[in-house]
A and B are shown apart, each in its own frame.
Chain A
Amino acid sequence: MAVLRPAGEFDTSYASDMATIRQRWQWWLLLAFVVALYALPFYASQSVVALVNRIGITIIAVQGLNLLTGYTGQISLGQASFMTAGGYISALLVNNLGWPFFAAMPAAALGAGIVGLLFGLPSLRVKGFYLTMATLAAQFIIPWFTRNAFPKVLNGAQGINVQVPVLFGIEFNTPQRYIYLTLTVLILTTIVAHNISRSRLGRAFVAVRDHDLAAELLGINLFKYKLQAFFLAAVYAGIAGSLAAHQIRHINSETFNLIDSVMFMGMLVIGGLGSNLGPIFGAIVVEMLIEGATLFGPLFISLFPSTAAGAVQALRPLFFGAALMLFLIFEPRGLAHRWQLFKAAWRLRPFSY
């Protein structure tokens, strides 16, 4: 990830050349932003806090998808199904085995990761479209499993209620409290994604994406790295699924569904594939659009009283679809790319012409 760097700054060592944030004021800016987010419950309404919470969880799921699709180039339509896996594992560990949420979530991440690994196995033999079909299979098999297997434990299509996380006697039972969980986890997942992208692992991922033949002939074990990407993507999904399930306090086979998987992919395209800012931009923009469609609904009815509520419902996918189309036409590399261009122009100022 390139960074803001004013003209005239030169690097004195490889370590500082490789650093992501080079200037003290940039650290302060970042810190201020994080503090503003953590302080949100003190100055924002409950619905805004709830929205930010939802966006945060969505970003985590999309970050995982970005590792698999954005960096490694394996298109997946199964991300939501791994959230389902993570959500159920976490819920069962807490409900049935009495695990604390803070042990159950990492376990759910790992469990979902292993499920993701299994559905990544076809990547040994097939790629491209056929592999995408295999990930779609996950999106059918995992919900089917939760509906039909172990009905006494999983409670079929009804699903199960999920307990509220408790830490040091504090119940995370309102958006104002839950947001601390979400933000903390989000910071960790963002750091991890950033580290992966700048390390040996991340370069191997991109090599697989950009030229799998060259990568293999130049010493990269394709299968190993594809599987690691599937694993990590599902770990992220597992974390997101666990966070979401304990917040909604209920999970069934449809809580995270195919539409979500498709939406995650759309968010990634809009935000920018293969950039760490992509999932953040994409999730924010799409969630805001959906929110906008919800607000726009009553206005729409008052303008056209004859329209049914169903038409208003249709506004959401319509907004999403239209945004996706516009991005594919005008900025197929996503918002993160726009942002890079903007920064590049800024960095060279006043010599940009």
Chain B
Amino acid sequence: MTTDRIQLRVDNISLSFGGIQALSDISFDVRKGEILAIIGPNGAGKTSLLNCFNNFYHPDHGQILLDGRDLTRLPPYRIAQLGIARTFQHTALYTGLSTLDNLMAARHIHMKAGMLASILYWGRAHQEDIAHRRVVEEIIDFLEIEHIRKSVVGALPHGLRKRVELGRALAMEPRLLFLDEPMTGMNQEEKEDMARFILDVYERQGMTILLIEHDMGLVMDIADRIVVLNFGQKIAEGTPEEIRNNQAVIDAYLGKAGVK
């Protein structure tokens, strides 16, 4: 699946919060159609990096290029419209909506009905809803969440909420999918399901996936390449094999274990 074409180029990104240097001079490329994992100990700056891609955090300097287009000047909602979707480390669903409506809300960027069409509803907006409902139902089937289709998501258990959140991101039909710890807090079975879904998406749709995950075994299994962050710095980049044997990575993780 992996191609050599660079889809996202991260060029010399730095980010600080007051005195804290969350990211220093990070550069790497994401190739079209690969699963790239970002790993690193707690507080390494993984989530902050994703937030920079969304331009929710504004880097002090550096560029982020999606197919050659700089994202650091665009408002977050525009970046989503360009084909970037994500899930959140701490689930961030629209808790008052059903599973179905959470996914329908994600179709927002592909829909056209403005204020007037929405108010009149019959005709255009209704037809549009039906058309997009089809796409959403396919995703619901794919993720095996038919049984909670009409359940309000705020009341769902953690594992299912994570799955709905993946569904919401998929409903955006993105070119690039960011997953921030999609499996934290899940039991083994749920984790395996999730890994299966991620691999399915990757294989069937050829979506580029950027995955943050702490479960090392899992990352080694599914990632094409891995970027390792530690204290806001990139300490390694390479295939799972290369990362496994990288001394700096071993030190970072052992060092952390040593402190504990």
When chains A and B are docked, how far (Å) is the Cα of A199 from the Cα of B128?
A: 10
Q: Are the CB atoms of B105 and A199 closer together than 8 Å?
A: no
Q: Are the CB atoms of A195 and B92 closer together than 8 Å?
A: no
What residues of A have a CB within 8 angstroms of the CB of B115 in the complex? 201, 228, 232
Most chain A CB within 10 A, of B77, B107, B128, B168, is at: B77
Question: If A14-B133, A199-B113, A200-B125 touch, does A214 touch B119 (CB 8 Å cutoff)?
Answer: no
| In the assembled complex, A29 has its CB within 8 A of some CB on chain B | no
What residues of A have a CB within 8 angstroms of the CB of B111 in the complex? 200
What residues of B have a CB within 8 angstroms of the CB of A221 in the complex? 75, 77
| In the assembled complex, A280 has its CB within 8 A of some CB on chain B | no
| In the assembled complex, B42 has its CB within 8 A of some CB on chain A | no
What residues of A have a CB within 8 angstroms of the CB of B126 in the complex? 15, 18
Q: Are the CB atoms of A203 and B80 closer together than 8 Å?
A: no
Question: Could you tell me which residues of chain B, from 108 to 154, have a CB within 8 Å of some CB in chain A?
Answer: 108-109, 111, 113-115, 117-121, 125-126, 128-130, 133-134, 137, 150
When chains A and B are docked, how far (Å) is the Cα of A232 from the Cα of B116?
A: 11
* Smallest CB gap from A210: residue in B: B94
When chains A and B are docked, how far (Å) is the Cα of A217 from the Cα of B85?
A: 8
What residues of A have a CB within 8 angstroms of the CB of B150 in the complex? 2
Most chain B CB within 10 A, of A14, A211, A219, A222, is at: A219
Q: Name the interface size band of chain A.
A: 20 to 34
Question: Could you tell me which residues of chain B, from 71 to 111, have a CB within 8 Å of some CB in chain A?
Answer: 75-77, 79-81, 85-86, 88, 92-97, 101, 104-109, 111
When chains A and B are docked, how far (Å) is the Cα of A200 from the Cα of B169?
A: 17
* Smallest CB gap from B83: residue in A: A219
B interface residues (Cβ-Cβ under 8 A, vs A): 54, 56, 75-77, 79-81, 85-86, 88, 92-97, 101, 104-109, 111, 113-115, 117-121, 125-126, 128-130, 133-134, 137, 150, 168-169, 172
19 contacts between A and B (CB under 8 A): A15-B126, A18-B133, A195-B125, A196-B118, A198-B121, A199-B121, A206-B94, A206-B96, A206-B97, A210-B95, A213-B56, A217-B56, A218-B86, A218-B105, A218-B109, A219-B106, A221-B75, A222-B77, A228-B115
A interface residues (Cβ-Cβ under 8 A, vs B): 2, 14-15, 18, 192, 195-196, 198-204, 206-207, 209-211, 213-222, 228, 232, 274
